[in-house]
Structure 1
Amino acid sequence: MQDTRTRTRLGGFYYLLAWLLCWLFGTAPTQQLAVGLGGLAFFALLLAARLLHRPPEAGDEAELQRWLDRHWGVILLSSLGWGLAHAWVLLTPDLQPSSLIATLATVAFSTAMAFNFAMRRRRAALGILLLYLPGLTALALGNEGTRAELVTLACYLSYLILALNRSHREYEAMLALELQLLEQRQRLDTLSRTDVLTQLGNRYQFNNLFPAMCANAGRHGGQLSLLLMDIDFFKRINDQHGHSVGDDCLRAFGERMREFFRRDSDALLRLGGEEFGVLMPDTSLEQARQLAELFREDLANRGLQLGDRQLPLTASLGVGTFDPSLDGGAEAFFKRVDDALYRAKTLGRDRLELSRA
């Protein structure tokens, strides 16, 4: 849609200009006044239709397709209009001096159609035929002096069809490459924001997301709760069972988080090592505390299932809710909750502490 819109902006003006030149360079423009002004009005109307027919700012695929169909209707009507204008020039004695202008314009318009509108091959081919066939018919009905011009234009028409096919393949290849690059960029962006081991958000995502969510909560008065968690004695797991079991433990911990914090708005994160976090927008301190306590109790009761091995596990948790009157910004809020987590660890671990003012 964007390509079609961009490539049709100037075309309508040159149809208008070509007809003006054909009319003015005829032998008696005043005698063809009605035809001349009628042609100018017709092509001016099509020019206005091109410029004023703006694409929708948003819409589903069906709506965009309807816009394309209507815009192509204007393009094809312009092609048909010029094809008939070319034939009229060739068949009208008063316009004979302008026949070269009309023929060259037909060649130019059809060439532009083949190379600029290859994204819709069949419609572009129809546009070329609408530009060409009326003039070729007029030449075929003329005297033998026009045979050379007829044959030359017919040969050039065959070249245009071949060029259109090639341009279409090149356009499709360009689109495929652009889509491939876009998908690669999206994958890289996802990888840059995702912890490889747990598939949770990573510290980079947290550093981008957390300040923005705090600023939004401060502006609009919404509630934003933050839960920070540390797996208790994780170094002991690595030392006793090996780092592969430690990695399995981190993955299973991330899965357990997904079981409890399942809202689409919640952001689940691995902040580094054995430290995890959950950002919970539109969540009060009491709601966040209840969810966090349920998570802590379930982890303490069930531990983690690592294949055939049941691994006992606990975690220390700190919970807080953003308060613009207490927190100058995201950094101060994070420190409050981090201090709560530190208290939970120093007071015996496997417990939850609320952040203090």
Structure 2
Amino acid sequence: MRTRLGGVYYLLAWLLCWLFSAEPMQALTIGLTGSVFFAVMLGARLLHRPPEGGGEAELQRWIDRHWGVILVSSAAWGLVHAGVLLAPAFKPSSLIGTLATIGFGTAMAFNFAMRRRRAMVAILLLYLPGLAALALTPAGDRAELVTLAFYLSYLLLAMNRSHREYQNMLALELQLLEQRQRLDALSRTDVLTQLGNRYQFNNLFPAMCANANRQGGELSLLLMDIDFFKRINDEHGHSVGDACLKAFGQRMREFFRRESDALLRLGGEEFGVLMPDTSMEQARHLAELFREDLANRGFELDGQHLPVTASLGLGCFDKRDAGSAEAFFKRVDDALYRAKAQGRDRLELSRR
């Protein structure tokens, strides 16, 4: 948007310089040529829109090309300003040319400070031809030369300051973004086991069910409950209970290792695994391996062996759930409770 406005004002500034010259009709060829040129530059800015898709490299190419248009416009206006100052016929409009140069330079310094080097080149292209022209004029124009030179130095200093402020603001925004991402991750992570928490499950599960329903893919859900966990806390203390929960989470990572799998602690001693693109048979095989390993090895905690088993309920998303995540969860949760009711340390599959 900024560069589009710049293109409009370059054209308007040229038209004012030409139309307020001593005899604009005698400079008709020059006037029309300048008008066509700046109109073409305006069209290039309007038509050269940023890419809607593509990666970072494509966006960088677009920025480079757009800055090419800006630099060409700046160089052209610098030459126009010099010509207006040197041509006697444009003496009545020389002040317009000078004020336009000051305006373009100021806009460049404060609006494009994030691209300091390119903006500095553009400002020099705007100013140096006019300063050179003033140096060639009679001594009476030395005051204007000195004033413009001082203002040019001010613009360069101001742009450096604006660039530093932009960098500081960008660094602060990145810190805030990183902090927000850390807080978001913490809000979705169980502190004890470092697995996803119930909040993460409540956000992820419906979305994965909707995706499976829409695309016809397979989604398996495994729910697990540590057997007699209250007894572990009562007999060994809560510190051992916490260590048991952490060890359980680590054991889950050993068996459910795909990046697409979502490992979760749903609350207390209840855990879950969401396995997209996984059939019931594949999930059943992994779940049985996990259950058998847990029953055979248990955990070594604080130098003592702690036998641990778990009850498991497993289901695969079915279109007969009518796209309902709640119905799917209830089927698997019912399977988990059947496993507990039928003696624990077993896997039960959800019923269709």
* Aligned residue among 233, 236, 242 for 1:238: 233
* Aligned residue among 35, 41, 44 for 1:46: 41
Aligned partner of residue 325 in structure 1, secondary structure: helix
Aligned partner of residue 228 in structure 1, secondary structure: strand
TM-superposed CA distance for 1:314, in Å, is 0.5
Amino acid at match of 1:221: G
What TM-score, normalized to structure 1?
0.95
Over 3 Å counting, the alpha-carbon distance change for 1:115 and 1:308 in structure 2 is: same
| Paired residues of 1:198 and 1:251 also in contact (CA < 8 A) | yes
User: Which residue number corresponds to residue 118 of structure 2?
Assistant: 123
Matched, 1:88 2:83: yes
| Paired residues of 1:229 and 1:317 also in contact (CA < 8 A) | yes
Matched, 1:348 2:343: yes
Q: Matches of 2:64 and 2:300 in 1, distance apart?
A: 58
Amino acid at match of 1:39: G
User: Which residue number corresponds to residue 288 of structure 1?
Assistant: 283
Aligned residues: 352
What are the superposed Cα offsets for residues 72-117 of structure 1, whole Å, 9 maximum, x if unpaired?
2111111111100001111111111110100000000001111111
| Paired residues of 2:223 and 2:272 also in contact (CA < 8 A) | yes
* Aligned residue among 208, 217, 220 for 1:213: 208
Q: Matches of 2:199 and 2:107 in 1, distance apart?
A: 48
User: Which residue number corresponds to residue 63 of structure 1?
Assistant: 58
Q: Matches of 1:7 and 1:307 in 2, distance apart?
A: 66
Q: Matches of 1:159 and 1:327 in 2, distance apart?
A: 69
User: Which residue number corresponds to residue 150 of structure 2?
Assistant: 155
* Aligned residue among 243, 249, 261 for 1:248: 243
Matched, 1:143 2:108: no
Aligned partner of residue 154 in structure 2, secondary structure: helix
User: Which residue number corresponds to residue 308 of structure 1?
Assistant: 303
| Paired residues of 1:327 and 1:333 also in contact (CA < 8 A) | no
User: Which residue number corresponds to residue 327 of structure 2?
Assistant: 332
TM-superposed CA distance for 1:207, in Å, is 0.7
What is the aligned-residue RMSD (CA, Å)?
1.3
Q: Matches of 2:142 and 2:311 in 1, distance apart?
A: 93
* Aligned residue among 159, 178, 190 for 1:164: 159
User: Which residue number corresponds to residue 3 of structure 2?
Assistant: 8
TM-superposed CA distance for 1:41, in Å, is 1.4
Amino acid at match of 1:314: T
Q: Specify every segment of 5 or more residues in structure 1 that has no aligned partner in the other structure, as ranges.
A: 1-5
Over 3 Å counting, the alpha-carbon distance change for 1:11 and 1:309 in structure 2 is: farther
TM-superposed CA distance for 1:244, in Å, is 1.3
What TM-score, normalized to structure 2?
0.97
TM-superposed CA distance for 1:185, in Å, is 1.2
Matched, 1:197 2:218: no
Amino acid at match of 1:24: L
Amino acid at match of 1:338: D
User: Which residue number corresponds to residue 258 of structure 1?
Assistant: 253
What are the superposed Cα offsets for residues 189-210 of structure 1, whole Å, 9 maximum, x if unpaired?
1111111111111111111111
Q: Matches of 2:250 and 2:117 in 1, distance apart?
A: 52
Aligned partner of residue 114 in structure 2, secondary structure: coil
Amino acid at match of 1:201: G
Which stretch has the larger CA shift, 305-314 or 168-177? 305-314
| Paired residues of 2:81 and 2:101 also in contact (CA < 8 A) | yes
What are the superposed Cα offsets for residues 152-202 of structure 1, whole Å, 9 maximum, x if unpaired?
111111111111111111111111111111111111111111111111111
TM-superposed CA distance for 1:309, in Å, is 2.8
Q: Matches of 2:52 and 2:297 in 1, distance apart?
A: 52
Matched, 1:21 2:50: no
Aligned partner of residue 310 in structure 1, secondary structure: strand
